[in-house]
């Protein structure tokens, strides 16, 4: 098992943001975490990366208990998070932002080739690599954030609402990029509110409500679930 979250609890003062959540990601899988605003999705991803401390439960990555490991240790071991709202440093150049992703890498032999490949893929970034990232549109910033995460060479890429605020065309581009990354061997843990597209991409999914896991199963079963359709797919 690549990622194993067990009975995770996370609190902010009196807010019980994540309550007894367990989930798994196998090598090669795309796993979706769905749920409305405030469900605890971002908190869950932050706990896996290590930027917030859980109050209870355990997190195992690639067989090792990482529950209390420092963030850089987790990144070096193959975890990365594309955070909600992209977190691009707008005063730094596009190229500098991209390089941040490789900051903790030990094996840098193929890095120049990987950077070229990212610029080949995202010509909008290549053309402006020495400009401040502030010049990028929302969609271009999302591509930069994903490109930056790719340079960390992760085994598991976690993405927090990568389609938020993008035009339908760019949403399609983001989803096809995720599909391609997965085809090339990367496992993905994808938090989204774009429920239908996400379940069409993922093999399994989990649904969070107010910090609790209320549903879990194969993506096609969740897509067909009437309760989920009423709540998240605008049907019924």
Ligand X SMILES: Nc1ncnc2c1ncn2[C@@H]1O[C@H](COP(=O)(O)OP(=O)(O)O)[C@@H](O)[C@H]1O
Interface positions with ligand X (CB under 6 A): 12, 15, 17, 35, 37-43
The stretch among 41-49, 51-59, 72-80, 181-189 that binds Mg ion (CB under 5 A) is 41-49
Q: Which stretch binds Mg ion (CB under 5 A): 45-53, 54-62, 83-91, 131-139?
A: 83-91
Closest approach, Cβ 42 to Mg ion, in A, equals 3
Exactly one of 17, 25, 30, 42 binds Mg ion (CB under 5 A); that residue is 42
Q: Which is nearer to ligand X, 103 or 165 (CB)?
A: 165
Q: How far is the CB of 15 from ligand X (least distance, A)?
A: 5
State whether residue 204 is helix, strand or coil. Answer: strand
Smallest distance from Mg ion to CB 45, Å: 8
Token pair listed for 222: 């969740």
What is the residue whose two structure tokens read 């109050």? 55
E strand or H helix at 226, and its extent?
helix 226-232
Separation CA 218–CA 213 (nearest Å): 15
Give the contacts of 94 (CB within 8 A, at least 6 positions apart).
Answer: 125, 128, 129, 130, 131, 132, 133, 136, 144
Q: Give 132's DSSP letter.
A: B
Residues 6+ apart with CB under 8 A from 114: 150, 151, 153
Q: What angle do CA 218, 222, 226 make, to 5 degrees?
A: 155
| Identity of the residue, 114 or 160, whose beta carbon is nearer to ligand X in the bound complex | 160
Residues 144-183 that bind Mg ion (CB under 5 A): none
Q: In the bound complex, what is the minimum distance in angstroms from residue 5's beta carbon to Mg ion? A: 16
Shortest separation between residue 87's beta carbon and Mg ion, angstroms: 13
CB closer to ligand X, 94 vs 158: 158
Q: How far apart are CA 70 and CA 62, in angstroms?
A: 16
Q: Toward Mg ion, which CB reaches closer, 42 or 194? A: 42
- Identify what 188 binds: ligand X, Mg ion, none; CB under 5 to 8 Å per kind: none
Judged by beta carbon distances under 5 to 8 A according to partner kind, the member of Mg ion, ligand X, none in contact with residue 43 is: ligand X
- The distance of closest approach from Cβ of residue 10 to Mg ion in the complex, given in angstroms and rounded to an integer, is 13
CA distance 55 to 180: 36
Binding site for Mg ion (CB under 5 A): 41-42, 84
């Amino acid at each position: 098992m690549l990622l194993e979250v067990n009975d995770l609890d996370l609190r902010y003062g009196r807010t019980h943001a994540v309550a007894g959540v367990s989930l798994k990601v196998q090598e090669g899988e795309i796993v979706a975490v769905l749920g409305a605003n405030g469900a605890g999705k971002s908190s869950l991803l932050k706990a896996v990366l290590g930027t917030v401390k859980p109050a209870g439960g355990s997190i195992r990555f690639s067989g090792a208990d990482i529950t209390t490991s420092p963030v850089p240790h987790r990144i070096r071991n193959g975890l990365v998070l594309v955070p909600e709202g992209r977190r691009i440093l707008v005063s730094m150049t596009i190229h500098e932002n991209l390089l941040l992703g490789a900051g903790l890498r030990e094996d840098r032999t193929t890095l120049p080739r990987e950077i070229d490949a990212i610029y080949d893929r995202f010509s909008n970034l290549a053309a402006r690599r020495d400009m401040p990232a502030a010049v990028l549109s929302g969609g271009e910033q999302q591509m930069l954030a994903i490109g930056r995460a790719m340079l960390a060479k992760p085994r598991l890429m976690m993405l927090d609402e990568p389609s938020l605020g993008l035009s339908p065309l760019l949403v399609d581009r983001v989803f096809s990029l995720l599909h391609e990354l997965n085809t090339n061997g990367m496992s993905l843990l994808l938090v989204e509110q774009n429920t239908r597209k996400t379940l069409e991409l993922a093999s399994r999914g989990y649904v969070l409500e107010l910090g609790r896991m209320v549903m879990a199963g194969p993506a096609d079963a969740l897509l067909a679930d009437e309760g989920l359709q009423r709540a998240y797919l605008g049907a019924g």
